[in-house]
Structure 1
């Protein structure tokens, strides 16, 4: 009696090691962005003598810096590899924090905004942590690897606000200068984590033939179009509503503390489910999880339109965070099926360029939309985009089941 040799199990030990390192880098690296979001407008208001309406520019500059950095991030990592790219970005983040702190000392609004933009540029590289975690993972472990990295954002949601609280008076009476020195320190900690990554360079970096398809051909794939559309929509709608919510809460007579606590729960809802989102994707499929995320975004707006009490705002913010988590992680997992190993850097960078380009626009326009059209209009705007993405998901599944040529 003979037995066939079983297929060798895929060893994901390296992938798990990389995912853990990237999750820790995410925990401290992503805190830089939250530090700017929390304190950037306050510093801007403090540095401006006139035209206080420009106080939110540093936050928008950070988002714009992320959008600008996405394509260079892909090219640099395509040429030099993930580890070198991530380490270089950490050094840029150190420079950004020190530059912002110096700008506060000399009371230079423009220089502070440049520091915020550099933080965003470094953040463009950090956005690819989730893709890097999938580089060495098996197909079965990829969704979990991505969700592990995103789970690091839970710690970032705690590290960022606590850093602001504990350091804002470090150089009293110069508020927030210590916060940005601390931001530089967090970037150094992230540097120590990414320095230990082991992600083999793909063959095209070592000089072998690339075999990659033209970018235009990849972007025409139905699965890329739908995954990118869902990622863009999920992130942009989250940014649009989140940015407007604290202003709407204060306009309705609620306190700044109420708004801050609401944003804190929102951030935890964004990243907390990442501990099990990968398992849900493996069990139910990427498309279903994206659809659930879109439905939660719609649920956020439904709750927001039902009333203006504190509970309505807080519940809406939690639903908004959950919807972002399911929609964005699911769309990211979908994207990993659209490229070959030698194509991954440019495709991922192109996807993030689309995402953060639109998010930057949403960030700049949110306050104006709220001021001109009101809170209700912002929430009504969510529904047509959710419906569009649902239709695209249904079309993609039908298209692929019929085995139509792509």
Structure 2
């Protein structure tokens, strides 16, 4: 039986250029991390306050993940045609516009405007994820997972800082005559706008355009889609595998994460407590990235992908069994949830980036991120209804069990690779 096609050898790029690209991406990710954390922390609570219903509290998460799906298409198309710099800058600028819309909706007490603004706000989430691909554009094949992880870990600082500023930004919003829960979106708008400016001004040379130019100067096969049907089928299977890992982990993570602040609020915990739990969750999503990247580069993405499923199962079990008054156990569950997501994202990204030819890489990555966003939309939309009908423990346990569906595909691929 044939083994999967090995990633093509691509011409080397000056390491100093790659380091400069990574520095710029790191700065933009620190800023954008604060922006994306706002919706996670208070989006569901703001909707619950406006609507007076828990059943639709998962709708904000569904809307900004649906918006991220549309934005993933737009950002990937702009990147494929004009490079990463204009694509990423446009995505973050759109996220800033969405944040401003949320503030306007809160001021007007308009749920319809809130939902429309959250859809636009989702562009920031999509762009934050798309940036990881820019880190890998110029990386050597054996170091791509580490390059991806460098970009991801930079999100940690902003992502951890953002939720813990929920109370101070709430005070600022109150002083401005806005609902306190709208406060984090003040931070989000400023953070996304700053990230857009940094990328527009400093992401030079453009990593994707330089990678294409370098590949064109080398052997033609390094950039072209293989003509052999068998090789094309192997590439397609690997892309589908990487997509499956990321889609499942995203669905489980979004569903459980979305309803945890609502679950805590309903049992008497304040915004500060839920902000702390979400901050630890976001830290676990991004902070382990350097270790995860090394594990993927050294041990392979299939093993790390399997670890993602098992870690998400552990997260679901802890969340389901944790007493509602135990902030510590809920924090542990959300930390495991973030870690499992991190394993899935880094391993899945590595599978796809290694498999996709450079000529079609941006379009393939964009299509996969659309599937990821759709799965997040599904998880966010269903989470409120599940909690309303069956309770938070059922949602958490069901999510953990669902994560196990990725294991058979990973095991089958590993067996074929050994053969």
Instruction: Please report the TM-score for the alignment, with normalisation by the length of structure 1.
Output: 0.86
**Could you tell me how far apart the structure 1 residues matched to 2:395 and 2:54 are?**
24
The question of 1:323 aligning with 2:340 is answered: yes
The change in CA–CA distance for 1:194 and 1:219 in structure 2 (over 3 A counts) is farther
**Could you tell me how far apart the structure 1 residues matched to 2:302 and 2:283 are?**
23
Q: Which residue of 2 aligns with 1:108?
A: 110
**Could you tell me how far apart the structure 2 residues matched to 1:250 and 1:41 are?**
11
**Could you tell me how far apart the structure 2 residues matched to 1:46 and 1:379 are?**
23
Q: Deviations over 1:183-211 (max 9, x none)?
A: 3221222123212112252659x999984
Q: Which residue of 2 aligns with 1:174?
A: 178
Match of 2:43 among 25, 40, 43: 40
**Could you tell me how far apart the structure 2 residues matched to 1:380 and 1:51 are?**
23
Higher mean C-alpha deviation, range 324-333 or range 37-46: 37-46
**Could you tell me how far apart the structure 2 residues matched to 1:253 and 1:165 are?**
16
**Could you tell me how far apart the structure 2 residues matched to 1:102 and 1:307 are?**
37
Higher mean C-alpha deviation, range 239-248 or range 147-156: 239-248
The question of 1:141 aligning with 2:146 is answered: no
The question of 1:346 aligning with 2:357 is answered: no
Which structure has more RCO (C-alpha within 8 Å, separation ≥ 6)? 2
- 8 Å contact kept, 1:45–1:55: yes
Alignment map for 1:26-37 (pairs within 5 Å): 26-37=29-40
The change in CA–CA distance for 1:60 and 1:71 in structure 2 (over 3 A counts) is same
Return structure 1 stretches of 4+ with deviation > 6 angstroms.
Answer: 206-210
**Could you tell me how far apart the structure 2 residues matched to 1:98 and 1:249 are?**
27
RMSD of equivalent CA atoms: 3.1
Higher mean C-alpha deviation, range 34-43 or range 329-338: 34-43
Q: Which residue of 1 aligns with 2:194?
A: 189
Which structure shows the higher helix fraction?
Answer: 2
The question of 1:299 aligning with 2:314 is answered: yes
The question of 1:271 aligning with 2:286 is answered: yes
Alignment map for 1:195-344 (pairs within 5 Å): 195=200, 196-197=202-203, 198=205, 199-201=207-209, 203=212, 211-212=224-225, 221-250=236-265, 257-308=272-323, 310=326, 311-344=328-361
The question of 1:359 aligning with 2:376 is answered: yes
The question of 1:99 aligning with 2:101 is answered: yes
**Could you tell me how far apart the structure 2 residues matched to 1:148 and 1:243 are?**
26
**Could you tell me how far apart the structure 2 residues matched to 1:9 and 1:133 are?**
15
The change in CA–CA distance for 1:203 and 1:141 in structure 2 (over 3 A counts) is closer
**Could you tell me how far apart the structure 1 residues matched to 2:267 and 2:46 are?**
24
**Where does the alignment leave 5 or more consecutive residues of structure 1 unmatched?**
1-7
How much has 1:354 moved relative to structure 2? 0.9
Instruction: Please report the TM-score for the alignment, with normalisation by the length of structure 2.
Output: 0.83
**Where does the alignment leave 5 or more consecutive residues of structure 2 unmatched?**
1-10
Q: Which residue of 2 aligns with 1:385?
A: 402
- 8 Å contact kept, 1:25–1:190: yes
The change in CA–CA distance for 1:394 and 1:151 in structure 2 (over 3 A counts) is same
How much has 1:27 moved relative to structure 2? 1.6
Q: Deviations over 1:219-259 (max 9, x none)?
A: 97221122111111111111122223334445566565443
The change in CA–CA distance for 1:107 and 1:79 in structure 2 (over 3 A counts) is same
Higher mean C-alpha deviation, range 165-174 or range 149-158: 165-174
- 8 Å contact kept, 1:41–1:55: yes
The change in CA–CA distance for 1:372 and 1:168 in structure 2 (over 3 A counts) is same
**Could you tell me how far apart the structure 2 residues matched to 1:192 and 1:241 are?**
33
- 8 Å contact kept, 2:61–2:377: no
Match of 2:72 among 65, 70, 82: 70
**Could you tell me how far apart the structure 2 residues matched to 1:106 and 1:351 are?**
37
The change in CA–CA distance for 1:185 and 1:253 in structure 2 (over 3 A counts) is closer
How much has 1:361 moved relative to structure 2? 0.6
Higher mean C-alpha deviation, range 101-110 or range 72-81: 101-110
Higher mean C-alpha deviation, range 95-104 or range 264-273: 95-104
**Could you tell me how far apart the structure 2 residues matched to 1:174 and 1:189 are?**
23
- 8 Å contact kept, 1:169–1:175: no
Residue-pair matches, total: 393
The change in CA–CA distance for 1:74 and 1:10 in structure 2 (over 3 A counts) is closer
